[in-house]
Structure 1
Amino acid sequence: MMALDQDHPVEDLEPADSWALLAASELGRLAVSVGDIPEIFPINYYLHDRQVIFKTAQGSKLVHLTINRNVVLEADGYDDETAWSVIVKGTAKTIQDTELIEAARKLPLPSWIPTVKYLYVQITPHTISGRRFARGPETWQ
C-alpha cells in the first residue's frame, strides 16, 4: 500500500487487496438495469469462494435479476484517515440446486431487517477493482 497524502490522494488497489476488503465487509449496493432504467438496492452479502452470496425474497430486486443478470456490486468503508471502494461486475443467478441452497444456509448471512428471505442469489464476479482515498479537506490550487 502506498502512502496517501495531498499529492497522492487516490490509490488504485491490487485485486488481492480488493478481494480482502470485499470479504471484510458485509453491506453493499447492488446495481441493476432493466430497459435502460437503473436501480440500486442495499444488500448484506457474504463472500464465499470468490462468489458473492445474498438472500432476498420475491420482489422487484429478483424481477430485475431475472430480466438482466448483469450486475454491479459496490462495497465501501472508511476510518479516520482513509476511505475505500470496491466494485464487482458480474452475473447473478438464483441458486436452485438443493445442495448449494443447504450450503448457503450454513453461511454467516443474517438478515439485517425482520423479513423472511428464503431465496439465495449468487453473483459470479467477472471483474473486481478498488480504490483507496486519503481523507481530508478539499484543497484549492
Structure 2
Amino acid sequence: MADTPGPVVALTDSQCWERLRSQELGRLVTRVGDVLDIFPVNFVADGESILFRTAEGSKLFELTVNDEVLFEVDDHTDTDAWSVIVRGHAHALDDSAEVERADGLGLRPWIPTLKYTYVRIEPASLSGRAFERGPEPDRYGVQQY
C-alpha cells in the first residue's frame, strides 16, 4: 500500500485557521425552526473566532432567535481546493470595549451600506478538508485494491 495521501486530506485546527485567515468572504448559515438561510459575508478571523459586520435585518434577527450557526469558507486553484466549516454560536458585540477593539481590525463593508453591528462567531467545532484536483478515474476499467 502506498504511503501517499489520498485526494482528500483532513486539515488540523491550525491548518483550518491558517486558511480562514487567508480569506475575506465566507457563508453564514442560520436556522430558525425548519427554515435555513445562507448569507455571504465578508469577515476577519480574530484570534480563534470569526467577526463580521451587519445591519438590522433578517440575518441579525435570525441570530437573536437561534445563535447556532455554520460558517463555511473555501478556495481553489487548478490543482487543489479546500473547505473549512466552523460550527458555533454567534452573538452581537454589545460591550463598548469589544466594539472599539473590533473597529481597529479594519473590517469594512464591501457594499456601500451602513453596518453598525459586529457579530462574533465563537466556534464549538472546526473541520476542514483539502482536495487534490485531477481527472476522474476510469469508472469502468480495472480498479486497484
Q: Give the TM bin, normalised by the shorter chain.
A: over 0.9
CA deviations on 1:109-134 (whole Å, 9 max, x unpaired) are: 12111111110001101111100111
Please say if 1:90 is aligned against 2:88. yes
Question: Runs of 4 or more off by more than 4 Å in structure 1?
Answer: none
Corresponding residue for 1:121?
119
1:3 positional shift: 5.7
Corresponding residue for 1:101?
99
- For 1:73, give the aligned amino acid: F
Corresponding residue for 1:132?
130
Structure 2 counterparts to residues 41-52 of structure 1, below 5 A: 41-52=39-50
RMSD over aligned CA atoms reads 1.3
Corresponding residue for 2:52?
54
CA deviations on 1:66-97 (whole Å, 9 max, x unpaired) are: 00000000000011210000000000000000
- For 1:139, give the aligned amino acid: P
- For 2:82, give the aligned amino acid: W
1:140 positional shift: 3.3
- For 2:98, give the aligned amino acid: L
- For 1:46, give the aligned amino acid: V
- For 2:21, give the aligned amino acid: A
For normalisation by structure 1, the TM-score amounts to: 0.92
Give % identity.
Answer: 45
Corresponding residue for 2:16?
18
Corresponding residue for 2:142?
none
For normalisation by structure 2, the TM-score amounts to: 0.90
Which of 28, 32, 53 does residue 34 from structure 1 map onto? Answer: 32
Q: Say how many residue pairs are matched.
A: 137
- For 1:115, give the aligned amino acid: T
> C-alpha separation between the residues in 1 aligned to 2:35 and 2:135?
35
